[in-house]
Amino acid sequence: MTRTKECKRVAQPERIGSYFRLELWPLAVVTVSGILYNAGMVAGPYLEGRMAQCLMNIESGAQTLAEMVTLAGAYLLVILSVQGMRCLKRFYVRRFANDTGRNMRRMLYNALVNESREELEKENLGAMMTKAMSDVDACVEGMRKFTTEVFDTGVVLLAYLGMLFYYDWHLALLSCAFTPPAYLVAGRLKGLVTRYASAYKQSAGKMTGATMDRVSNALTYRVYGCEDSRDAAYEAALSDYERCAVAANLWEGTMQPLYNVISMCGAVFILYLGGKNVLGTGWADWNIAAFTTFLSCFARLALKSAKASKLFNSVQKAQVSWGRIQPLMKAYVEPSTALRADGSKPVELTVSDLSVGWRGSPRILHGLSFSAAPGQIIGVTGPVACGKSTLGKAFIGEAAYSGSIRVGAWELRDLSAYERSRLISYLGHEPELMSDSIAENIRLGEDMSPEAFLRAVCLGEETAQMPQGTETFVGSGGVRLSGGQQARLALARTLSHGRQIVILDDPFSAVDQKTEREIFSKLRIWSKDRIVLLLSHRLSLFGELDGVLFLDGGQGLFGTHEELLAKSEAYAALCRAQRAGEEENET
């Protein structure tokens, strides 16, 4: 069956047929039950007609009660089994839709999660992806309706038509002649209906806009004393909305009965000429059973064909949705996890003659050289917009670099994304939290205990005091935590997945100095054989670091804190300015 836990790979996800092919089993059930049900649908009116005939014959003494009981029993049995088939068909066609929706989403998501950040930001791909995900529902709905209607409309129309032609082909032709004009009229009116419907939609949008404006500027309008005139304007918007709503409903509502009436014109002929058939003066020789069967078959046929236009609508909608989804569908990406570099052993970091910049734009940092040994914490700082974040992003492949970054025996640019992720950890400005529990934000599916990491970032006690402890839900993007808590949780997550080289971009900007110092001392212990690159604009800790890279005017100066204080007037000035600021804050 289809309920396999591991996801199914769609072979050619950009083709809609692939999704039908994946669901052969449910579709087979749908096909068999659909044909049986729809063919069996004819049995209802047929047996009802037979029963009416039987009743007449009993009255005239030609048949007995026992025959009626048999007939009624057969009728019940047939209806029960036909409806049983209908259940099967309905259920499996919905399962097909459910499966397909899941497969499509899975493929889209796979493409999304493996897409680079750069691509996602370019041309609003992220928003398109989100839109496509919501399009999946409309698309699948259309596929489901199409599949259903292939049987419900296609097969059943044929079955009914066959029945009609079997009884009297002249009359069948005559009575069905009214359906095509009905379609024609429907097609003509459709333009009108959609025009009024879109006017209604527009007016609804205007009304909502006017409401929002009236409410959100209520106080502005009040202090300027123009609430009354705005209320009058709102009233005008309401009147317009009412008018449009009624017009749209009028046109949409009258369509269906009009359509039905045209196609039911055939009924007049059936009654008149069919009556002649019963009396033996018509084209065919009928009894009452044939008469009622023919009439009810025709009524159902007319009803079914009236619904066919709805089918076209939903298929059309599905096509539009699929048009948006299809370009985003890509073959399933299985990220390579081949590993050449051993990420479990401490490595050296050697940066020489490094230039860094955003892809496609000139380099903003030039000629940087420094190195770090396991156990060292290196600070990177400089004035605002000196490029320290860009330097950090070079380590995760987001910024381009020339020159060399050697991690152990490997040149960074030669590593695959997976290998890079095994050697380098990174924490950016945004905490990038998941809407899940605190513990899960640290574990990310791996088997580890979050407490030690929470303690390392001074979040242990606060978490313990929360009613649900580490199982506390952080909300979408971490909104239920304070800014400082979010930053510390993100740091805990980075440490829990920490590699040999850890790059932290301004991790302490949202915590107070005392906490900063405490976290730093724990970071020292944690990173005893790792290399930490601390990009920061707060310099209070820099005196304790093993080395400082000072970026200024696109150049870098590397040395210990003391060396730099002596060597660089700009660095010394930056330190002095901060110390002055801190003292002012304390008073």
302-341 residues in contact with other proteins (CB under 8 A) are 335
82: which residues sit within 8 A by CB, 6+ positions away?
A: 36, 37, 40, 41, 43, 44
Report the amino acid identity of residue 541: L
Per-residue b or e along 88-117, where b marks 16 or more CB atoms closer than 10 Å to that residue's CB: bbbebbebbbebbbebbbbbbebbbeebee
Binding test (CB under 8 A) with other proteins, winner from 180, 181, 253, 367: 253
Binding test (CB under 8 A) with other proteins, winner from 12, 24, 73, 581: 73
Binding test (CB under 8 A) with other proteins, winner from 183, 221, 410, 526: 221
**Which residues inside 443-482 make contact with other proteins, applying CB under 8 A?**
444-445, 476-477
**One-character DSSP codes across 46-66:** HHHHHHHHHHHHHHTTSS-HH
* Nearest in space to 368 (alpha carbons), one of 355, 379, 359: 355
**Which residues inside 537-566 make contact with other proteins, applying CB under 8 A?**
none
354 phi and psi, to 5 degrees?
Answer: -90, 130
Min separation Cβ 453 and other proteins, Å: 14
**One-character DSSP codes across 199-249:** HHHHHHHHHHHHHHHHHHTHHHHHHTT-HHHHHHHHHHHHHHHHHHHHHHH
**Which residues inside 53-72 make contact with other proteins, applying CB under 8 A?**
53-56, 58-59, 65, 68-69, 71-72
Print the binding letters for residues 383-422 with other proteins: x by CB under 8 A, - otherwise.
Answer: -------------x-x------------------xx--xx
Binding test (CB under 8 A) with other proteins, winner from 20, 25, 91, 146: 91
Task: Give the number of residues in contact with other proteins, rule: CB under 8 A.
Answer: 128
Nearer to other proteins, 198 or 316 (CB): 198
* Nearest in space to 15 (alpha carbons), one of 123, 133, 143, 121: 143
What is the C-alpha separation between 414 and 340, in angstroms, rounded? 11
Q: Tell me if 210 contacts other proteins by CB under 8 A.
A: yes
Binding test (CB under 8 A) with other proteins, winner from 20, 25, 35, 105: 105
Binding test (CB under 8 A) with other proteins, winner from 18, 31, 256, 389: 256
Min separation Cβ 158 and other proteins, Å: 21
**Which residues inside 109-138 make contact with other proteins, applying CB under 8 A?**
109-110, 112-117, 120, 126, 129-130, 133-134
Q: Tell me if 35 contacts other proteins by CB under 8 A.
A: no
**Which residues inside 496-535 make contact with other proteins, applying CB under 8 A?**
497
Binding test (CB under 8 A) with other proteins, winner from 9, 35, 39, 84: 84
What is the C-alpha separation between 433 and 486, in angstroms, rounded? 8
User: Of the ranges 82-90, 161-169, 512-520, 544-552, which one interacts with other proteins (CB under 8 A)?
Assistant: 82-90
CB-neighbour burial class of residue 172 (10 A; exposed 0-12, middle 13-18, buried 19+): buried
Binding test (CB under 8 A) with other proteins, winner from 173, 184, 218, 573: 218
Q: Tell me if 492 contacts other proteins by CB under 8 A.
A: no
282: which residues sit within 8 A by CB, 6+ positions away?
A: 168, 171, 273, 274, 275, 276
450 phi and psi, to 5 degrees?
Answer: -80, -15
Kindly give the pairing relationship between strand 547-552 and strand 377-381: parallel
Nearer to other proteins, 192 or 246 (CB): 246
What is the C-alpha separation between 189 and 264, in angstroms, rounded? 18
What is the C-alpha separation between 114 and 117, in angstroms, rounded? 9
Nearer to other proteins, 231 or 562 (CB): 231
Q: Tell me if 80 contacts other proteins by CB under 8 A.
A: yes
Q: Tell me if 260 contacts other proteins by CB under 8 A.
A: yes
Enter the tokens of residue 443: 């574990």
Angle formed by the axes of helices 169-176 and 156-167, nearest 10°: 130
Q: From residue 510, give the alpha-carbon distance in Å to each of 377, 498, 575, 581.
A: 20, 21, 20, 17
Nearer to other proteins, 57 or 568 (CB): 57
Report the amino acid identity of residue 449: S
Min separation Cβ 427 and other proteins, Å: 8
Nearer to other proteins, 87 or 573 (CB): 87
For the chain, the farthest-separated pair of C-alpha atoms sits apart, in whole angstroms, at: 124
Binding test (CB under 8 A) with other proteins, winner from 123, 188, 223, 361: 223
Print the binding letters for residues 148-187 with other proteins: x by CB under 8 A, - otherwise.
Answer: ----------------------------------------
User: Of the ranges 18-26, 276-284, 344-352, 458-466, which one interacts with other proteins (CB under 8 A)?
Assistant: 276-284
Q: Tell me if 227 contacts other proteins by CB under 8 A.
A: yes
Min separation Cβ 137 and other proteins, Å: 9
